[in-house]
Structure 1
Amino acid sequence: MSDPFSLFGDWLTEAARSEPNDPNGMALATVGQDGQPSLRMVLLKDWGPDGFVFYTNFESRKGQELQAHPKAALLFHWKSLRRQVRIEGPVSTVSAAEADAYFASRPRDSQIGAWASDQSRPLESRAAFLKRIAVQTARFGMGPVARPPHWSGFRVHPVAFEFWRDQRFRLHERIVFSRDGEGWREGMLYP
């Protein structure tokens, strides 16, 4: 095996059959201006040889951190399979056309929520948020909801993968891939 994307695809397919919730859930690690790491769960929305895509509010903490320091680490953990995949690499923004297409595919309530939420900023009460949702719902009426200018996606371009598989007696299997020109170098790590 010298293609980490094929292996990832196989594992994701298995996860989709066995994980009860969000097999596309991944931990996203970023770093702030002060060097402090920050970690949260996001959902993988697209992937392929050009990278792994998720969407967010660019004014959120993760959005600001990724724009200031465009590198990230991802972690997929599939407990039911006893497997995980780590991915590291530089980050770029998706095209406006990609962001528009994905935004248009979201449920209407999620589209409204993207306008109503000042993601990662202090919220005085749940009632205040619900009021903002009502205001945005009235604003758009029954018409289409345009993508907010502050909402788009990021693509993590892998330079490193680690595929971890649980084994008996903690003698785990760790397969690593690192970018080598246009291809990949494959190896293993001690558990």
Structure 2
Amino acid sequence: MTHSDQTITDQVFDDDNKGNIDPFELFEAWLEEAKVSEINDPGAMALATVDSDGLPDVRMVLLNGRDRRGFVFFTNFGSAKGRELLANPKAALLFHWKSLRRQIRIRGAVEEVSTAEADAYFASRPRGSKIGAHASAQSRPLGSRSELVARSRTLDAEFGDEVPRPDYWSGFRIKPVEIEFWKDGEFRLHDRVLFRADGDAWSRQRLNP
């Protein structure tokens, strides 16, 4: 098989292939395969941050956008992850697709998305989700679920046809400096390849499993 006959996944794990592999293209290829094999939310990713004491914090969020600038998700900036990222704008992401026995790890700096990006994404959300963004004081103590439901119903009645984006609701973009691709191997001899940003280019290094 020639390099031209290989899939991009074959190429990245081929030690004889010295050509340039684009980690963003490989990410897209793996995500497209995950959309077929994963039952729920192939775009779900674990987001790791640290709090003011340096204690790690991790939770699942949904990937809402991506391009060569980075990987985007939206949230309430008053939430735990919002406060942590505003104070320490660095993060790690993990995509794990059990059906494919693959994972992708991403680390990098974090920036806020533009107002235009936040407005456009908020406008695309269902009305109920827009109301929820106003009703939930995310990560803050809540007396009961009935309080949240009542607040949501009140806001639903108050808003007209257009539900505005709250000032505290926007998005973060993780700008990767490292992207690691992991593929399951027999007898735990897994394949791991790490890409590191080097200016506008990416270096590639195989790692021990």
TM-score (norm 2): 0.90
How far 1:139 sits from its partner (Å)?
A: 1.3
The whole-number CA distance in structure 2 between the counterparts of 1:175 and 1:97 is 35
Structure 1 residue aligned with 2:177: 159
3-state SS of the aligned residue for 1:28?
strand
Larger Rg: 2
Name the residue aligned to 1:74: 93
CA distance in 1, matches of 2:87, 2:199: 26
Give the corresponding residue for 1:28. Answer: 47
Match of 2:129 among 95, 110, 126: 110
Name which structure has the greater RCO, CA cutoff 8 Å, separation 6+: 1
Q: Which segments of 5 or more consecutive residues in structure 1 lack a partner in the other structure?
A: none
Cα distance in 2 between the residues matched to 1:2 and 1:100: 34
Match of 2:190? 172
Whether 1:182 aligns to 2:192 is no
Give the aligned partner of residue 129 of structure 1: 148
Q: SS state of the match for residue 158, structure 1?
A: strand
Deviations 1:30-59 (A, max 9, x none): 010000000000000111110000000000
Aligned to 1:144: 162
Q: Which runs of 5+ in 2 are unaligned?
A: 1-19
**RMSD in angstroms over aligned alpha carbons?**
0.6
| Equivalent position amino acid for 1:171 in 2 | L
Among 72, 79, 88, the alignment partner of 2:107 is: 88
- Contact map agreement 1:178 1:185 (CA 8 A) in 2: yes
Aligned identity (percent) is: 61
Q: Partners in 1 of 2:183 and 2:157 — Cα distance? A: 50
1:115 aligned counterpart, secondary structure: helix
Report deviation, 1:3. 1.1
After TM superposition, give the deviation of residue 116 of structure 1 in Å. Answer: 0.2
Question: Which amino acid counterpart does residue 113 of structure 1 have in structure 2?
Answer: G
Question: For 2:205, what is the secondary structure of its paired residue?
Answer: strand
Q: Tell me which amino acid in the other structure corresponds to 2:102.
A: R
Structure 2 Cα separation of the partners of residues 93 and 132 of structure 1: 28
Offset, 1:148:
0.4
Partner residue of 1:98? Answer: 117
For 1:55, the equivalent position in structure 2 comes to: 74
Scaled by the length of structure 1, what TM-score is found? 0.98
Q: Is the 8 A contact 1:2 1:185 kept in 2?
A: no
Report the CA distance between 1:2 and its aligned residue.
Answer: 2.5
